[in-house]
């Protein structure tokens, strides 16, 4: 049993997903402590305690986690490997729940694929959490796959829609449902997990704000703007090929190509729906796709 959780340490609390996680935790009444690197210039809301840590030192991390009930890691992708020391520190500090920095593809099903090679630090972290929770029943974990960050992805072009030029890049038929989550929705999922920790102990969960197809997004943005958008056709097979070539040369920008090649492929069947979705378990309602797209178009 995970027991009740009040004090939450957030790692990477000033980051893209960290900011929304902190805001939703504060809204829900949790006490939040941000762990931040020595020399970091990150800033945090006034009611967040911040502690400088050395991610190489289990001792420094254990001392920073004293009195914390949960750790939510939203640490940057390049620092994913630091999480093993963080897990050791969490166990030593008697933390009850550890949520690792996943927040993307379901890393439980990618071992042995090119994407799995790039994300092996995430896979190792969850494997390590599984083994630590088996050794220490009072130490539990929850992994969260969110799919693509949707509101942020629209803003920075990773969803394939450019509102300035009114151009959509549609991969394959454009009919595959794709798991996506808005950042505040991810924050609310973390709140739901920590509010009722027993429901999600030692589980890897997939959530989604919604699972739109590219053609559904196109239809909505055309209706909202009252204009036909230019459509550029692209192939996921080509994206995969480019990704594998880049990866063979040690170029990790391969990740974006491989991701598009994986998620938009016809028949990929990776949506977080029905049995593949933990939205119901966490009491999360699907969000309004049109409202999210409208907000982006107006912004």
Ligand X SMILES: NC(=O)c1ccc[n+]([C@@H]2O[C@H](COP(=O)([O-])OP(=O)(O)OC[C@H]3O[C@@H](n4cnc5c(N)ncnc54)[C@H](OP(=O)(O)O)[C@@H]3O)[C@@H](O)[C@H]2O)c1
Binding stretches for ligand X (CB under 6 A): 12, 14-18, 36-37, 40, 42, 74-79, 101, 103-104, 146, 148-149, 153
For residue 190, give the nearest of 123, 158, 144, 250 by alpha carbon.
144
Q: Compare residues 166 and 268 and give the one whose CB is closer to ligand X.
A: 268
Q: Compare residues 29 and 56 and give the one whose CB is closer to ligand X.
A: 56
Q: Compare residues 75 and 254 and give the one whose CB is closer to ligand X.
A: 75
Q: Compare residues 198 and 286 and give the one whose CB is closer to ligand X.
A: 286
Asked if 185 and 288 count as a contact pair (C-beta separation under 8 A), the reply is: no
Measured CA distances, 120 to 44, 53, 111, 116 (Å): 30, 24, 8, 6
Both tokens of residue 147? Answer: 């799919």
Q: Determine the distance from the C-alpha atom of residue 289 to the mean position of all C-alpha atoms in its chain, rounded to a whole number.
A: 19
Tell me the closest approach of the beta carbon of residue 201 to ligand X, in angstroms: 21
Angle at 181 between CA 156 and CA 90, to 5 degrees: 105
Tell me the closest approach of the beta carbon of residue 1 to ligand X, in angstroms: 28
- Which single residue brings its beta carbon nearest to ligand X? 15
| CA gap 288, 232 in Å, rounded | 26
Q: Compare residues 17 and 85 and give the one whose CB is closer to ligand X.
A: 17
Tell me the closest approach of the beta carbon of residue 145 to ligand X, in angstroms: 9
- Helix 83-92, helix 120-135: angle, nearest 10: 20
Tell me the closest approach of the beta carbon of residue 101 to ligand X, in angstroms: 4
């Amino acid at each position: 049993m995970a027991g009740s959780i009040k004090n939450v340490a957030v790692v990477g609390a000033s980051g893209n997903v960290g900011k929304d996680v902190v805001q939703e935790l504060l809204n829900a009444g949790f006490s939040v402590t941000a762990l931040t690197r020595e020399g970091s210039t990150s800033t945090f809301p006034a009611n967040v305690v911040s502690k400088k840590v050395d991610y190489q030192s289990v001792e420094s991390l254990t001392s920073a986690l004293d009195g914390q009930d949960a750790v939510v890691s939203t640490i940057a992708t390049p620092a994913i490997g630091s999480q093993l020391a963080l897990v050791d520190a969490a166990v030593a500090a008697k933390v009850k729940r550890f949520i690792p920095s996943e927040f993307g593809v379901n890393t439980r099903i990618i071992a042995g694929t090119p994407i799995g090679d790039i994300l092996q630090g995430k896979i190792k972290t969850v494997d390590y959490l599984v083994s630590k929770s088996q050794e220490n029943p009072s130490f539990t974990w929850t992994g969260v796959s969110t799919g693509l960050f949707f509101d942020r992805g629209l803003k920075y072009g990773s969803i394939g829609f450019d509102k300035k030029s009114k151009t959509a890049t549609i991969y394959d038929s454009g009919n595959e449902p794709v798991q996506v989550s808005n950042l505040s929705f991810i924050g609310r999922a973390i709140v739901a997990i920590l509010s009722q920790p027993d429901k999600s102990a030692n589980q890897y969960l997939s959530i989604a704000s919604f699972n739109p197809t590219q053609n559904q997004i196109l239809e909505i943005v055309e209706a909202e703007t009252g204009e036909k958008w230019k459509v550029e056709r692209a192939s996921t097979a080509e994206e995969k090929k480019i990704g594998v070539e880049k990866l063979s040369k040690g170029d990790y920008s391969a990740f974006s190509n491989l991701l598009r090649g994986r998620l938009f492929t016809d028949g990929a069947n990776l949506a977080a729906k029905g049995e593949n979705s933990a939205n119901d378990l966490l009491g999360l309602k699907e969000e309004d796709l049109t409202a999210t797209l409208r907000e982006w178009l107006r912004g």
